[in-house]
Structure formats: structure tokens, C-alpha cells
Structure 1
Amino acid sequence: MLTSPGTTGFWVPVALSSDLPAGTVVPARIPAGPIALWRSQSGRPSASADRCPHRGMSLSHGFVRGEALSCIYHGWSYGPAGNCLRIPAHPGLTPPEAIRTVTYPVTEAEGVLWVAAGEPAAAPPTLAGRVPLRSLTVFGDIAAIEAAAGAKASAEGLMEAGGITVLLSSVRDGETLVHVLVDANAGPADRIAAARAAEGLRRKAEDFQKKGAER
């Protein structure tokens, strides 16, 4: 059962693996709200609510050091399980267990990072021989993208659109993250054509969204 368009069970495709190198953090969003998506130096992906418990600073503005995510404001550090590991102003203190960030399950499959907004009902869908090419943000909802493509997205958020395959994830009202997929054996010309088709779909969908707002 879907919790929102573009999810499988509770899984949301928030980013491509290639967009999150080791030792980096990026902002992302799931139906529960904004998250800090980060990858430790060893390569483990994690997802934390995008708010430091100390002063509320966005953790996606922070930095990754080793296997921890640190807030850029006062340097409080958190592990993948959300527990506070270090408070620089009190180096001899073992942080209380009560100081934690909210965390979400993350899985990585076929070049896509999925975050669960609740208890996953099943594994994320397989991409059936397709691989991610790029992601782009469309300032339009999934209905506008479906109207532009003349097609309907599956329960998993997958849709065939004008010769390309896309994986859709609703970011918020009027904004959708689109992951463009191509055949694993696609050559350079096919990849360029898919990228151009995706840009065309974005322009058309945003036009549909704009016209709908003007009614």
C-alpha cells in the first residue's frame, strides 16, 4: 500500500547513488519531512531528520567525519543510529542517550538510494535491467507529469514517457523529483537522447502545472 505517490510501501527514491559520494551530506525529503542524507567515509548511507536537537540547525548543512554526521553550528556529532557521539564544548562528556536525532531506514539498490518513511512493507522495486542516468526536479506534481507524458505512473512510481523510463518521487505539493532511467546497455547517443527527452518532459509538465494553477 502506498503512503504517497512515487513510493513503494513506505520506500521513497530520494537520490541516485552517484549523487552521494563517501563523506558527503545532501538535503532530501520524504513524506515525513526534510532529511539529511549522508554517506560515511566507509560508504554506509544514512538518513537523519534535518534538524540538530541542540539548536535546530539543518544537519544537511553539516559535514561528515569518519562514521558520524556533525552539525555545522556547534559541531555536535551523531552516528547512523541517531545517538549523539560527541559535544566539542564538553570533550570529556559521554553524551546522554536522550540526545538523539530521528533516523530512517535506508537501502541502496541498482544505483538508487531509498529511504523508508515508516516500516517498509516490502523491498524497493527492481529496475529490470535499467540504470539511473540523472535526476531532475520538476516544478509540477505527479499528475502534471502524467498529463505531459500521456501515461500513468505505476504504484512504484515507474512510468514510460515518450521513449524514456522515469522513477517519480513527490517532494512536496507542486514539486516532483524525477530519476531518469536508461537500459544498462544504452550507448552515448541513447543517453543523450534520454536526457533531452527528460528536459522536454520537464518543460511540458511545468507548463501543465502552470495552466492548472491559472484556472
Structure 2
Amino acid sequence: MRSDTTGTWTPVALSADLPPGTVMPARTRVGSIALWRSDSGRPAASADRCPHRGMRLSHGFVRGEALSCIYHGWRYAQAGNCLRIPAHPGLTPPETIRVATQQVEEVGGVIWVAVGEPADRPPQFDNLVPLRSLTANAGIAAMETAAGAKTGTDSLLRTSQKNSADLTLLLVAQEQDQTLIHVFLDRDTTASQRVSASRAVETLRRVAEELQAKGTA
């Protein structure tokens, strides 16, 4: 989502999908990132390549407040500087050994990553709570056709599906005509409605993928 001409916020994951001490791959419009959360609960976004041999840091592991590459164990702080090179335990890594990092914010159960320098914080979707995230092998146009609705100026797509509570979808374009779908429900939705909504969005994804495959979106 665009804040101004100098930067954008991308909703890359739900907070519940990134427990403390874990790392996962994610994408922004400028490429892949390693999204991780320290043991103390602080989220971070690092470029998904170790400067040493190019191994994906999203395949690595978190210990304390640092992210380590799974290949040779080079360890990086949330600021991107290298903290330790296991093959040279007595060496203080030079400041030139760094991974690029991006600003991260958590708002309303959503993890947002900045591209550039947005002027404002990410949006807060009042009275909505996140349900789940899933990926569709279909573009946003196919998702809108399947839902019978268009994305609003607030970047949310609102749709009513059969036997389900109303769905609010935050759609994020991915590479190769894929769409990352963040699903939200009204705050007062019941447990049974949450189950029905989860099934409904899976059906919606399937319909969108069929439209994409037929080229009819």
C-alpha cells in the first residue's frame, strides 16, 4: 500500500504466523526477504541472501536477537551487521559485512514491511481481526472476478460468500500471477463463523485459480 511517492508498505504476513524465534520467506515489490522474529518478540526483515555464499537466510535459524545462516552459521543482528563468523571466533566482523534490512511495523495483527521511506505508519483496519493468510495461483483480477467485487480505495476487497460471514480480503500481488490473501473478519465473529469463512475463502481461491487457468479473468 502506498503512503506517498517516496515509500510503500507491504503486508507480508500475519503476526500469528511468525512466533518468537522463527524465520520465514516473504516478498515485497523489490524482491525476497527473510522475515524473522527474535526470541524477545521483535520482528525484522533482512535481505534473503547471506553475503558469504548467497544462501537464503530464510532457511536459517534464530537464536536470541540474531539470525544465523544455515550454511556456515554467520550471524546477523536486526540492524543487518554481522555479529559472528564461527570459523573465526576471535574475529570482530568488519562493518562492511552486512545484509540489507527494511523497516517493519506490526499493526492490528499484520506485519508490514517498508519499501523506501513511507511518510506514515501502516493502516489500521478498525473493527476487523485477521483470520488467516493463503496464496492463490491467480492474479488479483481473477480474485476480484471470483469474488464478484472490486478492491476499494482502502485496498480492501469486501465480499459475501455463501454460508459464510462477510469476508474482507487484503490482496497482495506476487510474482508469476500469484496473490497473497490476508483474510479479515468482523471483530464479533463467532468461532463457527470463522470456520465457515476459512472454508469459503478456500473455495474462492479455487474458483479464482480455475478462472486464471482458463484465461477468463
Report the TM range for the smaller structure's normalisation.
over 0.9
Verify: 1:112 aligned to 2:110, yes or no.
yes
Verify: 1:190 aligned to 2:193, yes or no.
yes
Aligned to 1:127: 125
- Bigger relative CO (Cα 8 Å, ≥ 6 apart): 1
Runs of at least 5 residues in structure 1 that lack an aligned partner in the other structure: 4-8
Tell whether the 8 Å contact from 1:2 to 1:155 is kept in structure 2 after alignment.
Answer: no
Aligned length: 209
- In structure 2, C-alpha distance between the alignment counterparts of 1:156 and 1:73, rounded to whole Å: 42
Pairing 1:138-157 to 2, within 5 Å after superposition: 138-157=136-155
Three-state SS of the structure 2 residue aligned to 1:172 is coil
Aligned to 2:72: 74
Read off the aligned partner of 2:39 and give its amino acid letter: Q
Verify: 1:26 aligned to 2:28, yes or no.
no
Aligned to 1:96: 94
Three-state SS of the structure 2 residue aligned to 1:180 is strand
* Offset, 1:157: 2.8
Question: CA distance change for structure 1 residues 38 and 18 in 2, over 3 Å: closer, same or farther?
Answer: same
* Offset, 1:167: 1.0
- In structure 2, C-alpha distance between the alignment counterparts of 1:149 and 1:31, rounded to whole Å: 24
Q: 1:130-170 CA distances to partner (integer Å, 9 max, x unpaired)?
A: 11111111001111111111211134431102231111111
How does the TM-score come out when normalised to structure 1?
0.93
Tell whether the 8 Å contact from 2:20 to 2:39 is kept in structure 1 after alignment.
Answer: yes
Aligned to 2:12: 14
Tell whether the 8 Å contact from 1:168 to 1:176 is kept in structure 2 after alignment.
Answer: yes
Equivalent residue for 2:167, pick from 140, 159, 164: 164
Aligned to 1:205: 208
Moved over 6 A (4+): none
Tell whether the 8 Å contact from 2:2 to 2:8 is kept in structure 1 after alignment.
Answer: yes
- What is the RMSD of the two structures over their aligned residues, measured on CA atoms? 1.6
How does the TM-score come out when normalised to structure 2?
0.92
- In structure 1, C-alpha distance between the alignment counterparts of 2:99 and 2:200, rounded to whole Å: 40
Three-state SS of the structure 1 residue aligned to 2:116 is coil
Question: CA distance change for structure 1 residues 131 and 211 in 2, over 3 Å: closer, same or farther?
Answer: same
Read off the aligned partner of 1:166 and give its amino acid letter: L
Aligned to 1:181: 184
* Offset, 1:121: 3.3
Q: 1:61-107 CA distances to partner (integer Å, 9 max, x unpaired)?
A: 00001000000000000001100010001111111100000101000
- In structure 1, C-alpha distance between the alignment counterparts of 2:138 and 2:34, rounded to whole Å: 23
Runs of at least 5 residues in structure 2 that lack an aligned partner in the other structure: 161-165
